[in-house]
Amino acid sequence: MRSRTVRTLAAGVTAAALLAGGAACSAPSEGGAGGATDSLTVGIAQEPDTLSPLLGYGKDGNSKIFDGLLRRDAKMNLKPALATELPEVSEDGRTYTFALREGVEFSDGSPFTARDVVFTYETILDKKTNNPNKGELDAVKSVNAKDKHTVVFELKYPYAAFAERTVLPIAAEEVAGKQDVNDGAYNTKPVGTGPYVLTNWRKGEKLSFKANPDYWGGAPEVRKFTMATVEDDDVRATRLRSGDLDGAILPPQLAQTFEKDEGKRTLAAKSSDFRAVTLPSGNDVTGDTAVRRALDLAVDREQMVRSILSGAGKPAYGPVPTDSEWFAEGTERRHDLKGAKRILDEAGWKPGADGIRAKDGQRAEFTLWYPAGDQIRQEHALAYADDVKKAGIKVTVKSGSWEVIDPRLAKDAVLAGGGSPADPDFDLYGLLHSELALDGYKNMSAYDNPAVDKALEKGRQSGDRDERERAYRTVQRELAKDPGYTFLTHIDHTYVMNDRWTGVSTQVEPHDHGLGFGPWWNVEDWRPKE
Amino acid sequence: MTRAGPEPSPPTSPGTRPGPSPRTSAEPDTGTNPDAIPAADGTAPTDQAPAERPARNAPPGRFRALPWAGMARLTGRRLLAAVPVLALVTFGMFALAAASPFDPVRQYAGTAGRSASQETLDELRANLALDGPFTERWWQWLSHAVTGDLGESVSLRQPVAQVITERIGWSALLCLVAFVLALLLGTLLGVAAARRTGGALDRCVTGVAYVLQAAPPFWTGLLAVWLFALQLGVLPAGGLTDTGSDTVTVGGLLRHLALPAAVLALSQLPWFLLYVRQGVADALAEDPVRGARARGLGERTVLLGHALRSGLLPVLTLLGSRVPELITGALLIETVFSWPGIASATVEAATATDFPLLAALTVLATLAVLAGNLLADLLYGLADPRVDHQEM
C-alpha cells in the first residue's frame, strides 16, 4: 500500500519536525558575553554556601561585596582598605590599633563606623555563630571601638600574623544585627561597602553583581559582573567555548585545549595549595624517622607534576612553596631511590622474600586513605604507593568519606591537602605544633619535635621580620630531617579567559579558593583594552 | 537510572486488566477498605450493569457527563490516606538520614572543616542541635511542620520555606513541559509505529526508543549541549537567562527551557512510546476494531477512536508511576543545565543530612507521587467505563 507508506513517512517527518521545533524556536544567542567590555561573565565550579562574612564568606579577601580593614595586592602585600593605613602594633605585639576610613557608606546608604567592625568580629567569635573558620581568629581577646573611627584589637598572645587575618570582610551591623546570624536574609542578600553590589543570586545558577557607583575606591569600569555556577568541568569548558562565558576555572588538561584559541588567555595561578601524605607518629612504620626520610626520597615529585598535574604545579617539600620568600633554600630533596634504600638498610629495615622490608618482625607497610571522589588525590595516592614500593615499602591505597577516614587518622596515613599563602604561621603552626596533635584536622601526623615547637612559637610571637624568617627556616630544616608528612606537590589553579581587559593578573591562591580568587580577584581595577 | 516503585506489568490486552492501576510503593495499604465506605447519596449507581453506560467503543464525539461526585469522593479518600503516608515517609526519611554515614557537622563546615579544631567542630555540633535520637528530632519537626513552620535549612543557611518557594516554580515548569512533551510525542509516534508493526518507521522508532531508554539523561544532556549550543550555536547551554542578563523574559525563558525540557522529555519518551505502540497494536488486532472496520468506518476513526482509546489505558497507569522517574530525571537535568530548580537543593540536603530541608523535599516528592497516582486513577475511571471511582 503506497499511500500508507507515504502517510507513515509524513507522520515520521511531522514528529521529527516537532522534535526539532522544540529545540529551534529561537534566534541565535544574543550572548551575555557578546563582546561588551563593561560586563564580565565567568564560570565557577562551586557557589558559596553563604554571602555573609559572619559565617565565613570572603575571609581571605576579594569578596567583591565587602571590604576588609586591609586587603592584599597582586604581590600579596597588605594594603589599607577600610583602614587608612596598616595597623599600629604595640610593643608587646598584643594590641593592634586601626584608624578607619571616614565617609564610607554601605550600599544601603548607612555609614560605616567602628561599631560595624566590632559587631563583625564579636559575632563571628560568638559561640552561637556557626562559622567553621572562627578558629582563625583564635588569638582575639577583645575588639573595641575607641571612637567612631578607631578600632583596637587586644590579643590573647603576641601574634605577628594577625594583620593578615584582618582582610576579613566587614558586615553592616545596621542590617545584619537585626537578623538571625545563622539563617537570616543577610546570607543571601548581603549589604557591604565593596566595589560591587549583589543584584541577584539564583542558587545553583549564578550570582550577579553590578558596580557600586559610590565605591570609595572609585566606581569599577567593569560595570556588570556575573559568576555562573557550572559544576561539571566539561560543561564549563563547553560554555566558555560557545561564548556564553568570558572566563572559567578549568583543570589543566581542559585548559590546554584552549591554547590555540585566538583571543583567549590561559592563566596559571600559583598557589600554596599542597597535597601531602600524613605519616602518623602512632604507627610503628610511619612513625619511624628512617622510614619517613626514605619515603621522602623515594617519591618522584617531578613525575607527579608532569603526569598528574600536566605540568601545572610544582614539587612540594613543605607547606611553604619553593618560590615563596619564606622558603628555606636548600631544603629541596631530590628523587633518590638509592639513597632511600640506603637509609632503610642502615636503619635495619631488611627486604623480605617478597621485596617488602621488615624490621624486628614489623613489615614496612601501611594504609593510605584518600577522600572518595577526589580524583587528584587518588592519582597522587596511587603514584605515591607505586614510587615507595620500589624502595620496599608497601602502601595499601584505600578510599572513603571523611567520616570513614576520621577515626583512623591516628594510625593510617591520609592524602591531605591545604595551604594558605598569606603567612607561614597559618599552615606550619597547625600542621606541626605538638599541642595540636590530632586536634580536629590539625597536625594529623601527631608530629612532635621540640625544636620545631619552639621555632613555631618564636615565629608566631616575634614582631621582627628577620627573626621570623630565621624561625621558619629552622622549622623547614627540621622538617626535612624528620619529614612527618611526605609533601608531594603544590597545585596551580588554571583559568582561561577572553583577552579583552588590562590589569588582569593572579594572586598566589590558597587551597580553599572560593569565588574571590582567579584572575578576577581584582576585577574592580580592570580597564577595557582599546 | 533508579526506578521507584514497582513497574507496571507489560501491557497485554487491556481487556484483561483489572480495575484500578497498580500502585507505587509510596502508597501503603492504609487499612481502609474502599468498599466499606457507603455511597454518600442515592445518585451512586447501584446497578453496575454495563448496559447503563455508554458502550466502550462509543465514538469519541459522544461524552458522558463527568462523575464529579465519585471523583470528589476518591480525591477526599486519597487525601485522608495521604496523612499517615506522609507521616510514615518522613519518619523513614529521618531514620535513613540518621543512619547515613554523612556527618552533618563535617558537611556544614565543608572545606573549612578540614582545618578546623576540635573545639570549633564541637561548638557547631551543639549549635546545630544534632544530638538526641532521630525519633525526637522527627517529632519536633512534625509538630512544627503542622503549624506551617518548616524550620531552617542548615546547609543553605536559609529558612526551608524560602528555599522551596524560590525554586519550586522553575522545577515544576521544567517537569510539566517535559512531561506533556513526552506524552504527546510518545502518543503520536506510538500510534504511527503501531499502524504497521515491523514496518520501517516502527523499527526505526522502536530502536531509537531503546537507545534513549538506555542513555543516561545527563549524557543526553551533554550531547544536546554539544550539538545545539556548541556546534550549531542556536540554543543557550544552560541557566534561566543569558548568563550576562538577569531579567527573565518569556522569549528568553523559552529558549533556555528548550534544551533541558527536550532532554528530559526524551528520557521519558521511550516508556510512553513503547506502551502506546504495544497497546494500540494489540487493540488493532481485537474484535471491536475488526468490527469497526467491518462497519466501514474510516481508518482515522478506527485508529484514533477505537484502537488508541483502548490502547491508551495502560499509558494512563504509567502517568502516575512515571512521576518518581520524572523527578529523578529532573535532578540530573537540572545539574547539567544549571537550572535553578529544587534538584540542586535536594542533592545538597541529602549529602549534608540537612534534616528540615530533606523532610520538606521528601514531603513534596511524596505528594507529587500521590497526586500522580490519583490523576492516573481518575483518568482511568473516565477512560474505562468498566472501572468505577467508587471501587478504588
Which residue would you say has higher pLDDT here, B223 or B388? B223
The verdict on a CB contact (< 8 Å) between B188 and A15 is yes
pLDDT in tens, A364-403: 999 999 988 888 899 999 999 999 999 999 999 999 888 8
Q: What is the pLDDT of residue B332?
A: 84
User: What element of type H or E holds A370?
Assistant: strand A365-371
Which residue would you say has higher pLDDT here, A8 or B297? B297
Residues from chain A contacting residue B112 (CB–CB below 8 Å): 56, 132-133, 512
Residues from chain B contacting residue A12 (CB–CB below 8 Å): 192, 201, 204-205
Which residue would you say has higher pLDDT here, B356 or A408? A408
Q: What is the pLDDT of residue B219?
A: 87
* B233 in contact with chain A, both atoms CB, cutoff 8 A: yes
Q: How far apart are CA A385 and CA A281, in angstroms?
A: 19
Angle at B332 between CA B327 and CA B333, to 5 degrees: 90
Does the pLDDT of residue B20 top 60, yes or no? no
Q: Return the SS3 of B370.
A: helix
Residue of B nearest to A130 (CA): B124
Q: How far apart are CA A517 and CA B316, in angstroms?
A: 53
* A417 in contact with chain B, both atoms CB, cutoff 8 A: yes
Q: How far apart are CA B57 and CA B334, in angstroms?
A: 42
Does the pLDDT of residue A12 top 70, yes or no? no
* B127 in contact with chain A, both atoms CB, cutoff 8 A: yes
Does the pLDDT of residue A3 top 80, yes or no? no
Scanning chain B, the segments in alpha helix (DSSP H) are 68-99, 104-109, 118-127, 134-145, 160-195, 200-214, 217-224, 250-284, 287-294, 299-300, 308-311, 313-321, 323-336, 342-351, 355-383
> Can you say how many angstroms the Cα of residue B208 is from the centroid of all Cα atoms in its chain?
23
Q: How far apart are CA A219 and CA B213, in angstroms?
A: 53
Cβ–Cβ < 8 Å for A349, A364: yes
Report the pLDDT averaged over residues A55-61. Answer: 89
Q: What is the pLDDT of residue B25?
A: 39
Q: What is the pLDDT of residue B343?
A: 77
Q: How far apart are CA B252 and CA B203, in angstroms?
A: 37
Chain B contacts in chain A segment 198-237 (CB below 8 A): 199-200, 202-206, 208, 224, 226, 228-232, 234-235
| Per-residue confidence band for B236, with pLDDT thresholds at 50, 70 and 90 | confident
pLDDT in tens, B334-384: 888 878 888 778 877 877 778 888 888 888 888 888 888 888 888 887 777
* B117 in contact with chain A, both atoms CB, cutoff 8 A: yes
Nearest residue to B321 via CA among B390, B279, B384, B275: B275
| Per-residue confidence band for A35, with pLDDT thresholds at 50, 70 and 90 | low
| Per-residue confidence band for B65, with pLDDT thresholds at 50, 70 and 90 | low
Report the pLDDT averaged over residues A295-302. Answer: 95
Beta bridge partners of residue A71, listed in sequence order: A79
Q: What is the pLDDT of residue B286?
A: 84
Residues from chain A contacting residue B222 (CB–CB below 8 Å): 232, 234-235, 238
Report the pLDDT averaged over residues A99-107. Answer: 94
Q: Which ipTM value was assigned to this complex?
A: 0.72
The verdict on a CB contact (< 8 Å) between B341 and A232 is no
Chain B contacts in chain A segment 160-189 (CB below 8 A): 182-183, 187-188
Average predicted confidence (pLDDT) for chain B? 76
What order do you get walking across the sheet with A362-363 strand by strand?
A: A350-351, A357-359, A362-363
Does the pLDDT of residue B26 top 70, yes or no? no
Of the given ranges (A102-111, A443-452, B41-50, B131-140), which has the lowest mean pLDDT? B41-50
| Per-residue confidence band for B19, with pLDDT thresholds at 50, 70 and 90 | very low
Does the pLDDT of residue B23 top 50, yes or no? no
pLDDT in tens, B301-344: 888 888 888 888 777 777 777 777 888 888 888 888 878 888 77
| Per-residue confidence band for A13, with pLDDT thresholds at 50, 70 and 90 | very low
Q: What is the pLDDT of residue A224?
A: 92
* A23 in contact with chain B, both atoms CB, cutoff 8 A: yes
Cβ neighbors of A406 (< 8 A, separation 6 or more) are: none
Question: Closest Cα of chain B to A453: distance in Å?
Answer: 18
Chain B contacts in chain A segment 482-521 (CB below 8 A): 511-512
A-B CB pairs within 8 A amount to 224
Q: How far apart are CA B363 and CA B357, in angstroms?
A: 10
Q: Which amino acid does the sequence have at A302?
A: E
Cell of A404: 570513614
Residues from chain A contacting residue B168 (CB–CB below 8 Å): none
Residue A3, Cβ density class (10 Å: 0-12 exposed, 13-18 middle, ≥19 buried): exposed
Cell of B132: 538526641
Q: How far apart are CA B86 and CA B32, in angstroms?
A: 16
Residues from chain A contacting residue B120 (CB–CB below 8 Å): 132, 134-135, 440
| Per-residue confidence band for A33, with pLDDT thresholds at 50, 70 and 90 | very low
pLDDT in tens, A475-529: 999 999 999 999 999 999 999 999 999 889 998 988 876 788 889 999 999 998 8
Report the pLDDT averaged over residues A451-463. Answer: 91
Q: What is the pLDDT of residue A333?
A: 92
Residues from chain A contacting residue B238 (CB–CB below 8 Å): 205, 228, 230, 235, 239, 244
Which residue would you say has higher pLDDT here, A17 or A266? A266
| Per-residue confidence band for A291, with pLDDT thresholds at 50, 70 and 90 | very high
The verdict on a CB contact (< 8 Å) between A26 and B335 is no
Chain A contacts in chain B segment 238-257 (CB below 8 A): 238-240, 242-246, 251, 254-255
Of the given ranges (A22-31, A498-507, B137-146), which has the lowest mean pLDDT? A22-31
| Per-residue confidence band for B166, with pLDDT thresholds at 50, 70 and 90 | confident
- Percent of all residues in chain A with a pLDDT value above 70, rounded to a whole number: 93
* A128 in contact with chain B, both atoms CB, cutoff 8 A: yes
The verdict on a CB contact (< 8 Å) between A441 and B199 is no
What order do you get walking across the sheet with A394-400 strand by strand?
A: A313-315, A485-491, A274-278, A413-418, A365-371, A394-400
Chain A contacts in chain B segment 207-226 (CB below 8 A): 222, 224-226
Question: Closest Cα of chain B to A256: distance in Å?
Answer: 18
Cβ–Cβ < 8 Å for B106, B113: yes
CA distances from A188 to A118, A184, A205, B157, B162 (A): 22, 8, 14, 8, 11
Does the pLDDT of residue B139 top 50, yes or no? yes
- In angstroms and rounded to an integer, the radius of gyration of the C-alpha atoms of chain A is 26
β-strands A206-211, A224-229: how paired? antiparallel
Q: What is the pLDDT of residue A222?
A: 92
Residues from chain A contacting residue B234 (CB–CB below 8 Å): 23-24, 26, 28
Mind spelling out the 3-state secondary structure of B111-135? HHHHHCCHHHHHHHHHHCCCCCCHH
Cβ–Cβ < 8 Å for A525, A73: no
Cβ–Cβ < 8 Å for B290, B328: no
Residue of B nearest to A126 (CA): B123
Q: How far apart are CA B266 and CA B179, in angstroms?
A: 10
Q: Which span out of A277-291, B12-26, B137-151, B196-210 was modeled with the highest average pLDDT?
A: A277-291
The span from the first CA to the last CA of chain A, in angstroms, equals 69
Q: Which of B154, B189, B246 sits opposite A199 (nearest CB)?
A: B246
| Per-residue confidence band for B49, with pLDDT thresholds at 50, 70 and 90 | very low
Compute how many other C-beta atoms are within 10 angstroms of the C-beta atom of residue B71.
Answer: 16
* A134 in contact with chain B, both atoms CB, cutoff 8 A: yes
Average predicted confidence (pLDDT) for chain A? 88
Of the given ranges (A83-87, A141-145, A331-335, B42-46), which has the lowest mean pLDDT? B42-46
Nearest residue to A432 via CA among A370, A486, A480, A475: A475
Residues from chain A contacting residue B251 (CB–CB below 8 Å): 26
- Percent of all residues in chain B with a pLDDT value above 70, rounded to a whole number: 81
pLDDT in tens, A200-248: 888 878 899 999 999 999 999 999 999 998 888 888 888 898 888 999 9
Does the pLDDT of residue B29 top 50, yes or no? no
Angle at A57 between CA A55 and CA A59, to 5 degrees: 105
